């Protein structure tokens, strides 16, 4: 124990002073974790010395006073709020914080102003992911990038470390996070100005000097007596407007009519076309369906062309009304922008302000001429070949039609399609025209092999002599005519009366074969022959001629045939 400590312990004056001091501190009711008042007694380069009326003066780092320019106003004798962390540390020092006092005070104030949406002053001190850090009365807050201004800013250097007005938009008490917005303050101020300015205008007013501020593809922004207004592209003219920038320049003055004021959003809509009479109001007196007029092509789309009939009135020529030959032709292949053309009015819908036009109706209709060419020979050009047909156009008129593979030859062979390629010119006949669709036939140029039945007066029930053309596993193919153009398949079941004789392998190409016509539908090109039916008919005929009472006398069919053949042989001799 040192001499100084012994004096403190033994000196009665010191003990008395210590008791008085302890009693004084006890009466002050100072608690750790609270904000207390302190007086600045000295300002050094590193610390601010403050007297909080405790056992000793507190040393506060000078950095805690640099965030919001407080240091510039600070002087000896100034009273400041500090946060009492500890009354006495391990070394007997008082621990206070100006920064924590400021934050605690700011947080309490922040909770109040969040409810009232009161404006506060803050300093943007740095940038973080998604936004910025703003120091609001000593409390670090987050300001999203979208909340720094009413419009996106490329640079914010002019706002860094300068006082800005903000409003608290969100508070998270658990995490101690606060989100603030400068944009809300600007919008609030702007809305107040707009609300005041809106008192001077009303719907229906005509403004002579609306100033063009900006243009977009969908409209124009105007300045009307300090109020932002929108002039939509549809309100520029009664006609179609391609680009608003083609009609106006920035800074230009326009005469407009106020058409709508939204009191909730303070949005103002204006119109130029409302100043003039709607040209569709009396359109039925000017134009009638079926009339032919002249106009200018203004726009070409994939589905058709727009034509200007007069100022404010446009009509549409659908691509199906551009060309007689091709209903789906590309409009740009027929017409061009700024081209003057004649058109026919097809339909007028006054309510929807739509007019349908036809360009091809002013041209010569090739369909009128083609109807007289049915069953005549024509030349066609191959455009496309599909799995079952050829699509071609008439060389003379360009009208398109179809040549089915069954109409290429009477064989009706799918392989015939492979004989042709695109752009080939072939001869054919027009066999049908229905609903602007043409059917071609190449085989119609040749004689129909089925005409053999008409020429030879053959019908169902008649017997025909054929020649075996080809032997199949399921039957045989036979030719009826000498030119071998009329080929028919006789099924195995129809080759003979007896199953043993109906085997295809017993027949040879070139052999003669008598068969009965059991089916003949010339329209559907259906023919059915049967050797079996011919044999049965022959058998019945022989029995009828030679076999009366044969069954009673015990005669056999073989004997009857031999007898018939024998008699015939004698006659031949």
Per-residue pLDDT, 297:
93
Contact between 259 and 203 (Cβ < 8 Å): yes
In SS3 terms, 500-521 reads as: HHHCHHHCCCCCEEEEEEEEEE
pLDDT at 91: 64
Residues 456, 524 within the same domain: yes
Q: Give the number of C-alpha atoms closer than 13 A to the C-alpha of residue 296, restricted to the C-beta side.
A: 7
Domain final residue, candidates 407, 423, 445: 445
262 part of a folded domain: yes
Strands 304-310 and 313-318: antiparallel
> Residues 160, 225: one domain?
no
pLDDT at res. 67:
61
Question: Which CATH number characterizes residue 111's domain?
Answer: 2.40.50.140
CB atoms within 10 A of CB 324: 20
For residue 38, is it within any domain?
yes
Residues 52 and 99 in one domain: yes
Name the DSSP letter for residue 535: H
**SS3 label, residue 64:** helix
Dist. CA 65–CA 75, nearest whole Å: 12
Pair type for strands 267-271 and 227-232: parallel
pLDDT in the model for residue 2:
43
Q: How many domains does the chain have?
A: 6
Contact 56, 93 (CB under 8 A): yes
Rounded Cα gap, residues 385 and 401, in angstroms = 12
Give 515's strand partners.
464
Does residue 174 fall inside a structural domain? yes
Q: What is the Cα–Cα distance from 440 to 91, expressed in whole angstroms?
A: 113
Inside any domain, residue 305: yes
Contacts of 3 (CB under 8 A, 6+ apart): none
Task: Please tell me whether residues 271 and 289 are part of one structural domain.
Answer: no
Helix, strand, or coil here: 107?
helix
Taking the C-alpha atoms of residue 180 and residue 136, their distance in angstroms, rounded to an integer, is 9
371 and 346 inside one domain: no
**Could you give the CA distance from residue 445 to residue 459 in angstroms, rounded to a whole number?**
25
Instruction: Say yes or no: 155 and 91 in one domain.
Output: no
Q: In 3D, which of 98, 88, 91 has the Cα closest to residue 25?
A: 88
| CA gap 376, 240 in Å, rounded | 49
Q: Are residues 340 and 370 in the same domain?
A: no
Angstrom distance (rounded) from CA 79 to CA 87: 19
Is 560 domain-assigned? no
Pairing of strands 139-144, 163-172: unpaired
CA–CA separation, 156 vs 439, rounded Å?
A: 74
SS3 12: helix
Structure confidence at residue 554 (pLDDT): 45
Q: Does 129 map to a domain?
A: yes
Q: Is residue 343 one of the residues assigned to a domain?
A: yes
Asked whether 211 and 220 are in contact (CB, 8 A), the reply is no
**Alpha helices, DSSP H only, in 274-390?**
283-286, 366-370
Can you name the residues that pair with 97 across neighbouring β-strands? 83
Separation between Cα atoms, residue 39 and residue 542, nearest integer Å? 149
The answer to whether position 18 is within a domain reads no
Residue reference for tokens 């720094």 = 148
Compute the distance between CA of residue 450 and CA of residue 443 in angstroms, rounded to an integer.
13
95 and 136 part of one domain: no
CA dihedral 319, 321, 323, 327 (to 10 degrees): 60
Closest among 31, 149, 26, 44 to 83, alpha carbons compared: 31
Q: Are 182 and 147 a contacting pair, CB within 8 Å?
A: yes
The predicted pLDDT at position 20 comes to 60
33, 111: one domain: yes
Q: What is the mean pLDDT of each run of 10 residues along the chain (573 residues)?
A: 48 62 55 77 83 78 72 80 72 75 78 84 90 85 90 85 90 84 85 72 85 87 83 82 82 88 80 84 87 92 92 90 86 92 92 90 84 85 91 86 89 88 91 86 86 87 90 91 86 87 87 89 88 87 66 48 52 44
Same-domain check for residues 223 and 157? no
My answer on whether 486 and 531 are in the same domain is: yes
Which of 75, 93, 116 terminates a domain? The answer is 116
From residue 79, alpha-carbon distances to 38, 54, 94, 330 in Å are: 6, 15, 17, 85
Containing structural domain, residue 387: 366-445
> Could you tell me if 456 and 526 lie in one domain?
yes
Domain end residue (candidates: 127, 154, 189): 189
Backbone angles phi, psi at 5, to 5 degrees: -70, -35
Q: What is the pLDDT of residue 259?
A: 87
Sheet holding 475-479, edge to edge: 487-491, 475-479, 463-471, 512-521, 526-530
């Amino acid at each position: 124990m040192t001499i100084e400590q012994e004096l403190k312990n033994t000196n009665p004056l010191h003990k008395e002073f210590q008791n008085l001091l302890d009693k004084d501190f006890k009466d002050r009711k100072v608690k750790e974790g609270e904000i207390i008042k302190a007086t600045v007694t000295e300002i050094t380069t590193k610390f601010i010395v403050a007297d909080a009326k405790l056992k000793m003066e507190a040393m506060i780092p000078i950095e805690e006073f640099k965030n919001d320019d407080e240091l510039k106003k600070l002087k000896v004798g100034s009273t400041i709020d500090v946060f009492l962390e500890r009354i006495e540390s391990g070394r007997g020092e008082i621990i206070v914080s100006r920064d924590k006092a400021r934050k605690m005070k700011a947080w309490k104030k922040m909770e109040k102003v969040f409810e009232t949406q009161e404006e506060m002053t803050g300093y943007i001190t740095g940038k973080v992911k998604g936004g910025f850090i703003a120091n609001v009365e000593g409390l670090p807050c987050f300001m999203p990038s979208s909340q720094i201004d009413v419009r996106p800013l490329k640079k914010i250097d002019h706002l860094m470390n300068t006082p800005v007005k903000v409003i608290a938009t969100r508070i998270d008490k658990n995490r101690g996070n606060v989100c603030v917005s400068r944009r809300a303050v600007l919008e609030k101020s702007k809305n107040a100005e707009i609300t005041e300015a809106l008192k001077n205008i009303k719907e229906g007013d005509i403004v002579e000097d609306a100033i063009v501020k900006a243009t977009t593809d969908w409209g124009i922004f105007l300045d009307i007596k300090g109020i932002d207004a929108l002039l939509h592209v549809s309100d520029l003219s009664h006609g179609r407007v391609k680009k608003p920038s083609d009609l106006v320049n920035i800074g230009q003055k326009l005469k407009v009519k106020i058409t709508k004021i939204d009191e909730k959003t303070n949005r103002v809509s204006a119109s130029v076309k409302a100043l003039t009479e709607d040209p569709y109001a009396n359109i039925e007196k000017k134009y009638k369906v079926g009339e032919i007029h002249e106009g200018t092509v203004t726009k070409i789309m994939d589905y058709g062309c727009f034509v200007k009939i007069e100022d404010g009135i446009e009509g549409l020529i659908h691509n199906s009304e551009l060309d007689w030959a091709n209903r789906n032709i590309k409009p740009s292949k027929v017409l061009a922008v700024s081209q003057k053309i004649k058109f026919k009015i097809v339909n007028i819908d006054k309510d929807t302000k739509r007019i349908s036009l036809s360009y091809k109706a002013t041209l010569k209709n090739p369909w009128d001429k083609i109807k007289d060419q049915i069953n005549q020979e024509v030349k066609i050009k191959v455009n496309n070949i599909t799995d079952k047909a050829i699509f071609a156009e008439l060389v003379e008129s360009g009208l398109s039609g179809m040549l089915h593979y069954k109409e290429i030859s009477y064989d009706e062979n799918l392989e015939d399609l492979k004989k042709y390629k695109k752009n080939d010119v072939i001869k054919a006949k027009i066999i049908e025209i229905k609903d602007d669709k043409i059917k071609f036939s190449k085989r119609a140029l040749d004689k129909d092999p089925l005409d053999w039945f008409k020429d030879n007066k053959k019908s169902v029930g008649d017997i025909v002599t054929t020649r075996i053309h080809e032997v199949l596993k399921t039957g045989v193919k036979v030719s009826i005519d000498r030119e071998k153009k009329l080929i028919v398949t006789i099924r195995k079941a129809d080759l003979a009366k007896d199953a043993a004789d109906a085997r295809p392998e017993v027949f040879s190409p070139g052999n003669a074969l008598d068969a009965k016509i059991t089916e003949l539908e010339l329209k559907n090109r259906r023919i059915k022959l049967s050797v079996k039916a011919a044999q049965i008919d022959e058998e019945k005929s022989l029995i009828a001629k030679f076999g009366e009472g044969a069954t009673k006398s015990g005669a056999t069919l073989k004997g009857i045939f031999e007898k018939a053949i024998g008699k015939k042989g004698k006659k031949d001799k």
